[in-house]
Structure 1
Amino acid sequence: MAHITNDPTKLIARIRRLQGQLDAVARSLENKAPCGDVLQLVASIRGAVNGLTIELMEEHVRNHVVNPDREDDPEKAKGATDLIAVLRTYLK
């Protein structure tokens, strides 16, 4: 996956935050936190995973399918832009 981004620093930082969120769920369960609190933590993890997923998918589209910023064919560029927008909406 390293080929999909020139600077993996941002992605690695996201993953480290996810690890921290998972650790927080484990601590909450160990400390018998209220169910609502644990569910809120899990929901935040789901959002973070979706954010990471869309970043990876967008990079994949731009690097392996069509980069709308460099595509000469306006229809293909629009198709790639539309696909990225749909993915963002779907994973929101």
Structure 2
Amino acid sequence: MPHTPEAKAKTIARVRRIKGQAEALERAIEAGTECAPLLQQIVALRGAANGLMSEVMESYLQESFASQSPATHGCDPDEQDAKISEILKIVRRYFK
């Protein structure tokens, strides 16, 4: 999770936007909105949740691997950074 006040505020703002999207979806359902616009809102909500998941996962990976010395993994710092970057690329692709 984000540990700096700025990162924490950014993450909370993102969660609040997702909450707003969920509330808008609920209102649309209650109003009897047609399926196509509902599906569009659901896709946007899922994308926002996946973006949040990706961000938290990235933070977790950085904390987990960066806190250990590269020697623990049998590689130099540049190689460790490259491995972290590769994992993050895979995670981002998965959540798209």
Normalised TM-score (structure 1)? 0.85
Residue equivalent to 1:24 = 24
Residues 5 and 59 of structure 1 are in contact (CA less than 8 Å); yes or no, is this contact kept in structure 2? no
- Larger RCO, structure (CA 8 Å, separation 6 or more): 2
Residue equivalent to 2:43 = 43
Structure having the higher helix fraction is 2
Over the matched positions of the two proteins, sequence identity in percent amounts to 33
Unaligned runs of 5+ in 1: none
In the alignment of these two chains, the number of paired residues is 88
* 3-state SS in 2 of match to 1:53: helix
Q: Deviations over 1:26-58 (max 9, x none)?
A: 101110000111111010000000100010000
Is residue 81 from structure 1 mapped to residue 79 from structure 2 by the alignment? no
1: CA distance between counterparts of 2:47 and 2:3?
21
- Greater than 6 Å deviation, 4+ residue runs: none
Normalised TM-score (structure 2)? 0.82
